Structure 1
Amino acid sequence: MGDMIVRIMGEGQVRLADSHLTELNKLDEVLLQEMENGDGPGFRRTLEALLAKVRELGDPLPDDSLEPSELILPSQDATLEQVRDLLRDDGLIPG
């Protein structure tokens, strides 16, 4: 198993082991559902939970690290529309 570089917009990058993606995908699926339902408060809660989990599980990279990000996540205060622009077919998180 490898790891991936994740950027949280406006915060910086963390290195995250691939093994954590399953856990993050569960939150990602909830987030997609809430976006489809237009559930603003639920979406906000889940986005915050997802970012908190990434920060908890990931190792922060130094600010001057220039590694390319394989995954870009929205900032905590991103709007539903901004997050929609970042989505791929399978949500924010691949897999």
Structure 2
Amino acid sequence: MWSEAVQYLVEAAGRRADWMRNALRFAWQLMRRSTWAMLTAPKKGATWQHLAADLGLSERTVANLYAWFIKAGLLARAVPGTTVRYRKGTRHGLDDDG
């Protein structure tokens, strides 16, 4: 099961106990805020601000957890970049790129 793989990789990272606890809580929150197609949904609160507030962590810690999960192969970016307003080729958000 996916959660067992996440738990194994988090424990194998050799980090402190509080980091492991936060990483597993972060993974659970991402799973709760994902669509059936396993895409995180900002409408469900899968933003750095919401995750940081719900987990009681800083946005920097959430960013580090995202980076670690991507590096570990547990997350992938469907659309690289930032918000539509700042992404290249969208005329500053006037064109929605999907």
TM-score by length of 1: 0.33
Greater share of helix: 2
Report which of the two structures shows the higher radius of gyration computed on alpha carbons: 2
Structure of greater relative contact order (alpha carbons < 8 Å, 6+ residues apart)? 1
TM-score by length of 2: 0.32
